Each structure stands twice: as C-alpha cells, then as structure tokens.
Amino acid sequence: MRVLAVKIGRILSPGFSNFLSLLNNLSVVRQFGRPSLYTTLISTDELIEPSAQFAVQVSMAAQLRKWGLKPAALLGHSSGEMAACYLAGIYDLTQALTLLYQRYYYLQRMLNKGGGLLIVAATVEQILPYLSALGAEPAVVIAGRNSISLLIVWACK
C-alpha cells in the first residue's frame, strides 16, 4: 500500500492545489519528532508510513470534495480505518493521526521485543481450544479480528 500511496502522492501533489495544501498542513506527526507527511512520501520509516498513507487518503478525499463529489459510504482497513473515521467526523485530525501513530508505535515496539503477527483463517471458537492447550500463560494470543473468520494472532518468543 505504501508504494501506491507514494505514487499517488507524487502524481497528485504538483497539479492539485487542494490535495497539496492539505498534505502540507498535516503536521500533527511533528509532535512525535517526525518530519512533515509530505516529506514522508519518500521516507522509509516504518512508523510514519501509515501516517503518510492516511495523509494521501484524506488529501484525495479533500480534492474530490473540491470537485463536488461526496461519498455515500466510508470504508477502510488499517490506516484506512482512521482516514474513514476522520472523514466521517468521528475523530478530528489530531485525534486520528495521534491514534494511528500510537497504534503503529506500540505495534513496532512489541515486534522489536521478539515474536510476530500471523493472520489465521479461523473463528475465535476454532482457535480457542488450541490457545487453551498452551496453558495459563500462552505464548500465542488473539491480537485482533479482521472478520468473523480471519484472526490476527500474536506469538511471543
């Protein structure tokens, strides 16, 4: 997704003033000691990538609104969830970017300690017996749920 966000950002920035204006004004991540989101379109910093994706998504929406297009629905996954929440008015810009940044900050911190994430095509009911068999302090836990039958499990080292 980052590669697509970078390409879209580079294509739209020069020719669309609304897109570029909003992208340049998304400076909330600077409170975390990070560069502007426009600068991050060429960054390789994994912590800032979701914020850059968010910025491109929100800036594209602003450009579409300028042209008079309004969404009938807002959907998103991962960084797109936060963009959809912001665009729907659930979070303001600072809240959305702060939540997004913190989410990936703590995820990266946990990954740096060892272990990893795995997507499993199973329901909670299907996976619980396996986790229960691991004992009181399992090395594997359910970390998230993408759908009824698609789970994210976390495995500790």
pLDDT score recorded for residue 122: 94
Q: Distance between CA 148 and CA 130 in Å, rounded? A: 17
What is the overall mean pLDDT for the chain? 75
Q: Please compute Rg for the chain using Cα positions.
A: 18
pLDDT digit string (tens) for 18-71?
666 666 666 555 566 655 555 555 455 554 577 777 877 888 888 788 889 988
pLDDT score recorded for residue 59: 80
Q: Distance between CA 84 and CA 90 in Å, rounded? A: 9
pLDDT digit string (tens) for 78-128?
778 899 999 999 998 888 888 888 888 887 787 777 778 888 999 999 998
Under the phi-then-psi rule, with left for phi > 0, alpha for psi from -120 to 50, and beta for the rest, what region is 51? alpha
- Alpha-carbon distance values, 22 to 12, 46, 47, 52, 146 (Å): 12, 22, 21, 12, 30
Provide CATH 3.40.366.10 ranges for the chain.
2-112
Nearest to 102, CA basis, from 24, 5, 2, 32: 32
CATH number of the 2-112 domain: 3.40.366.10
